[in-house]
Amino acid sequence: MSAPVILEGSGLTMRFGGLVAMAEVDFTLRKGEILGIIGPNGAGKSTLLNIITGIYVPSSGEVRLSGERLNGQPAHRIVGKGIARTFQSSRLFGDLSVLDNVIIGRHTHMKTGIFDVILRRSKAEAELAEAAAIAEGLLKAVSRGLYEQRHRPAAELPQADRRRLEIARALASEPKVLLLDEPSSGMDDADTDALMDDIRALCAERPELAMMIIEHDMRLVASLPHRVLVLDYGQKLAEGSYEEVRLIPRVQEAYLGRKAAQNAQA
Ligand SMILES: Nc1ncnc2c1ncn2[C@@H]1O[C@H](COP(=O)(O)OP(=O)(O)OP(=O)(O)O)[C@@H](O)[C@H]1O
Ligand SMILES: [Mg+2]
C-alpha cells in the first residue's frame, strides 16, 4: 500500500511507576489502511490507543497526525483533529436513544452552546436538526438494522448492536482515523461475521478512512486488516501481513500460547 502516511508513532514508551507498559514502539498507518493490533492480555494494545488519543501522555516518543505532533495536546483537541475511537468496554448513554448517542458524538462539530439554546433557540434547533440528519445517515451506513432501532434506548440494544452504535458515534466526529478496541468482544461467531461485513462495507464507502483495530478474534484478524502489529509485554514483536506474522514462532508462542505453537508447527 503506497497511500500517504496519516498517523505515525515513534519511540513510544509508557511507564506506570516501575511498570513499562510500552517500550520504544514505532508504527505507521496510511490513508485507507486497516492495521490490526494483536497481542496477549496486558501487551499494551489499549495503552497504545490511549496514547494516540491523548488519554495517556507517553513517557517518551511522539505521535504525529499528518506530520503534526499530537502528544501533549488534550484528548478533546485530538478528537477535533480527526481521531475517533471506541472503548474496550461499552460506554454508551443507556437511557438516551440510539440516535441521541450518535448526535452526542458530533459535539466537536457543533457550535451551539447553552446560551444559544436559551437565547437563540431557532439557531440551536436548526443545528440539532442537521446533527440528527447526519446521525441517521451514519446509523444507516453502519447498519440498517441499527438505524431501524434509532428511537430505542441504547441500553435495550443487543450487545452486537451496542458495539455498532459505538462505531457510529465515533464516526459522528468525522474522523480521518478510527480506532476500535476489541469491537467483537462479547460476540458469538455469527455476530462477529456480521460485524466484519459491516466494517468492510463501511471501508468500501469511505476509502480514505484509516483504521486501527485491536482484536482477539483470529478470523477477524485474518480477514480484515491489511497489516498486523503484534505487541507483547509492551514491545513490538512483529509487523506485516497476517500470513507473514502468524508464521513467526515467537508470535505463535506469545499470542497463541506455547501449546498452540507446537500444534501449528506439527
Ligand atoms: N493507568 C494505568 N496504570 C497502571 N498500569 C496500567 C495503566 N494502564 C495500563 N496499565 C498496565 O499496562 C499494561 C498494558 O495494559 P493494556 O491495557 O494496554 O493491555 P492490553 O494489551 O490492552 O490488554 P487486554 O488484552 O487485556 O485488553 C498492563 O500491565 C496494565 O496493567
Ligand atoms: Mg486492552
CATH number assigned to the domain comprising residue 259: 3.40.50.300
**Tens of pLDDT along 148-157?**
999 999 999 9
Number of domains in the chain: 2
Is position 88 within any domain? no
Nearest-CA residue for atom 11 of ligand 1: 21
Looking at the fold, whether 76 and 179 belong to one and the same domain comes out as yes
b/e code 101-132 from CB counts within 10 Å (16+ = b):
bbbbbbebeeebeeebeeeeeeebeebeeebb
Instruction: State residue 257's pLDDT score.
Output: 60
**Tens of pLDDT along 91-103?**
899 999 999 999 9
User: Which atom of ligand 1 approaches the CA of 231 most closely?
Assistant: 21
What is the domain extent for residue 115? 95-174
CA 133 to chain centroid = 23
Is position 89 within any domain? no
- Whether the CB-CB separation of 101 and 162 falls below 8 Å is answered with no
> Is 41's C-beta closer than 6 angstroms to any atom of ligand 1?
yes
**Tens of pLDDT along 104-158?**
988 777 666 666 666 677 777 888 889 999 999 999 999 999 999 999 999 999 9
**Tens of pLDDT along 172-191?**
999 999 999 999 988 899 99
Looking at the fold, whether 108 and 45 belong to one and the same domain comes out as no
> Is 16's C-beta closer than 6 angstroms to any atom of ligand 1?
yes
Looking at the fold, whether 41 and 159 belong to one and the same domain comes out as no
Looking at the fold, whether 106 and 127 belong to one and the same domain comes out as yes
Nearest-CA residue for atom 27 of ligand 1: 41
Looking at the fold, whether 161 and 180 belong to one and the same domain comes out as no
Looking at the fold, whether 102 and 135 belong to one and the same domain comes out as yes
Looking at the fold, whether 190 and 211 belong to one and the same domain comes out as yes
Is position 87 within any domain? no
Is position 119 within any domain? yes
